[in-house]
Structure 1
Amino acid sequence: MNTFDRQMGRRDALMVIGSSAAAVMASSARGADDPSKGFIDAHSHIWTQDTDAYPLAGDQTKKDLDPPSFTDKELLAVAHPHGVTRVVLIQHKPYHGLDNSYIVDAIAANPGVFSAVACIEAAADRPQDEMDRLKKKGVRGFRIRPGEGGSDRWSESDGMNAMWRHAAETGLAICPLINPEDLEQVDGMCRRYPETNVVVDHFARVGIDGEIREKDLKALTALAKHPKAHLKVSAYYALGEKQPPHTELIPMIRRCYEAYGPQRLMWGSDCPYQLTGPNTYGDSIALIRERIDFFSDEDRERILRGTAEKVYFS
């Protein structure tokens, strides 16, 4: 597991776990009684200590969970005070593999609060059957990585092609977790399947080594020529200077804003990793709400709610 996927410290986990359900109820967050009126966090992971009900992948044990727990309730306790009332849950493949039951159960237990992006076996004979099964349970997207599907190239994988094709037919999203060098693959698949909704995670990790290179930014913004391509403005803890106030990312955000428009950008925290000190949930959402002067109020509404609502909650 790389450092991007596991950067949550145990000290910060204890701070999160200390948040109680009472804090959620006491919150003055906008839309607390009606989830549809609040903001949407388009990217968070959850897991639980109940590894009997939700087994860990491989030979992992509870000792491998870092933080030890980040449940749906713990997530909402962090999100609600900032006006966030809905969240897109991202299957945490390192811990749970292709068993999406925990995020699916969270959707069922919290009507109207969660949507989800699942992980499935793209190399299966008919991955579209699993896509249909999970769609009925509230899943609206499917996370893919380079090398999945039984081939180094997505375009050469029968299963991956079936996923992209079926996503277009059913209104589902394909959500690539990639590095800048993989944008070329995404571009090729977007050309092949122009009606497929695509949501690229975390700026395609441009700036993960601390440097935002012009060639990477050009490739990222060039993807906007595909009308169904969307981008997550997320995971600030892992990009640029990797600490608040995250304003060094504003020039990159501006370039993406000019290319995609606010209607194809969505904010996500990438909790619980964004809670790694000195990073906080508040600093993540504040970058969009308060620290970017070229956003209009309408732009903020789209980035903090409208885009994710269209893709994941419609």
Structure 2
Amino acid sequence: MALASASPFSGFPSHKFLFSNPRNLLPSIRMASEAGGLGEFSSRSALSSPSPPKILDSHLHVWASPQEAAGSYPYFPGQEPSIPGDANFLLKCMSEAGVDGALIVQPINHMFDHSLVTSVLKKHPSKFIGCCLANPAEDGTGIRQLEDLVLKDGYRAVRFNPYLWPSGQKMTNEIGKAMFYRAGELGVPVGIMCMKGLSLHISEIEELCEIYPSTIVLLDHMGFCKPPMTDEKHNTFSSLLKLARFPQVYVKFSALFRISRKQYPYEDAGDLLSQVISNYGANRVMWGSDFPFVVKECGYKEAREAVSLLANQIPLSSSDLEWIMGRTLGQLFQ
């Protein structure tokens, strides 16, 4: 029975162990990566294990079906989805694509009501882990909610959406800093969504990383950086690469349809991936689909296959590809 319910995130070192003393360990991990140590560990693990590498999706969403929304899990007013994104649909897509597990990011369709995602996590504990949505309310209630979601409901990450902050305020305000620091104390990474452009938020990210080096950061969708075509865009992408100097920063190579200027298989994303790996190392990069949005763009299975096609184009080593397609996420979220 234990084997049947084994988590796809098992078999990797826990991030709470790896970052138990981040000030000392993070530079060591970075040096090990640069020296090829982690890549050698990956190769040895693959050789010693008879099972194939696990495929893990670092970024997807689920929301209630219309029937569920009419009952126990209503949508947030004005955020009714236009496409299906229920858990049964997701499980079907993952099965067809051969994806073993995933990190579910709380969708804005349910805003700060996490009951739907929590129900999915409890129903499928061997398949999913959760990333809650930070509530930057000025009264500080979001900090207590974060604690409850992590300590009581088992969420393993938290998402900062800067566009939910009060008008005119930044993620570096008093509440933002308190939540960012508390996330580090709880051992949960902070995912940051820069939908309107990384350049608008790069200074906030740098400030938070400098002040709180113990808090892990996940950059959603590669900071929404597309292949640069202007000096301004080149500078923005360069700032993404320079964030690699903070060893707690990881990059999600996710939602390729959002960062590519071409149709599937998103060939122009290959050069972006190559540069990100050169700066961060494959062990700080993770693939994500952005389900269910990706389904109408190219299909869920195709989203997984796109990375393999890009790996052949770059080219990318099998070890690096293994890190991106699951080992990085598995290491952080055992």
Coarse TM-score class (shorter-chain normalised): 0.7 to 0.9
Q: What is the CA-CA distance between 1:35 and the residue it aligns to?
A: 4.9
Q: 1:171 to 1:73 in 2, by over 3 A?
A: same
Q: What amino acid does structure 1 have at the position aligned with 2:111? A: G
Q: What amino acid does structure 2 have at the position aligned with 1:137? A: D
- Residue from 65, 83, 95 that aligns with 2:98: 83
Note if contact 1:35-1:112 (Cα within 8 Å) is conserved in structure 2. yes
Residue 136 (structure 2) pairs with residue 122 (structure 1):
yes
Q: What amino acid does structure 1 have at the position aligned with 2:104? A: L
Deviates more, 1:34-43 or 1:158-167: 34-43
State the partner residue of 2:301: 282
State the partner residue of 2:73: 54
Note if contact 1:187-1:223 (Cα within 8 Å) is conserved in structure 2. yes
- 1:169-188 correspondence runs (5 A): 169-178=185-194, 179-181=197-199, 182-188=201-207
State the partner residue of 2:125: 111
Question: Scaled by the length of structure 2, what TM-score is found?
Answer: 0.76
Note if contact 2:60-2:292 (Cα within 8 Å) is conserved in structure 1. yes
State the partner residue of 2:87: 72
Q: What amino acid does structure 2 have at the position aligned with 1:235? A: A
State the partner residue of 1:248: 268
C-alpha distance after superposition, 1:233-270 (max 9, x if no partner): 01112222242111111111111111111111010000
Q: What amino acid does structure 2 have at the position aligned with 1:159? A: I
Q: 1:35 to 1:73 in 2, by over 3 A?
A: farther
Measured in 1, the distance between the counterparts of 2:104 and 2:95 equals 15
- Aligned with 2:116: secondary structure? helix
Residue 283 (structure 2) pairs with residue 239 (structure 1):
no
State the partner residue of 1:295: 316
- 1:193-212 correspondence runs (5 A): 193-207=212-226
- Residue from 101, 116, 128 that aligns with 1:102: 116
Unmatched segments (≥5 aa) in structure 2: 9-52
Unmatched segments (≥5 aa) in structure 1: 1-30
- Aligned residue-pair number: 276
C-alpha distance after superposition, 1:180-212 (max 9, x if no partner): 212222111111111101001001111299879
- Aligned with 1:276: secondary structure? helix
Deviates more, 1:208-217 or 1:185-194: 208-217
Measured in 2, the distance between the counterparts of 1:140 and 1:310 equals 13
Q: What amino acid does structure 1 have at the position aligned with 2:100? A: T
Q: What is the CA-CA distance between 1:34 and the residue it aligns to?
A: 5.2
CA RMSD across the alignment? 2.3
Measured in 1, the distance between the counterparts of 2:4 and 2:320 equals 22
Measured in 1, the distance between the counterparts of 2:161 and 2:131 equals 13
Measured in 1, the distance between the counterparts of 2:267 and 2:78 equals 41
State the partner residue of 1:267: 287
Q: What is the CA-CA distance between 1:127 and the residue it aligns to?
A: 3.2
- Aligned with 1:292: secondary structure? helix
- Aligned with 1:117: secondary structure? strand
Note if contact 2:93-2:301 (Cα within 8 Å) is conserved in structure 1. no
Q: Per residue, is there more helix in 1 or in 2? A: 2
Q: What amino acid does structure 2 have at the position aligned with 1:306? A: R
Question: Scaled by the length of structure 1, what TM-score is found?
Answer: 0.81
Measured in 1, the distance between the counterparts of 2:106 and 2:262 equals 23
State the partner residue of 2:170: 153
Note if contact 1:197-1:228 (Cα within 8 Å) is conserved in structure 2. yes
Q: What is the CA-CA distance between 1:87 and the residue it aligns to?
A: 1.0
Note if contact 1:118-1:139 (Cα within 8 Å) is conserved in structure 2. yes
Q: What is the CA-CA distance between 1:38 and the residue it aligns to?
A: 2.9
Note if contact 1:149-1:158 (Cα within 8 Å) is conserved in structure 2. no
Percent sequence identity over aligned pairs: 23
Note if contact 2:134-2:161 (Cα within 8 Å) is conserved in structure 1. no
Q: 1:276 to 1:210 in 2, by over 3 A?
A: farther
Measured in 2, the distance between the counterparts of 1:296 and 1:33 equals 31
Q: 1:35 to 1:297 in 2, by over 3 A?
A: farther
Residue 241 (structure 2) pairs with residue 221 (structure 1):
yes
Q: What amino acid does structure 1 have at the position aligned with 2:170? A: R
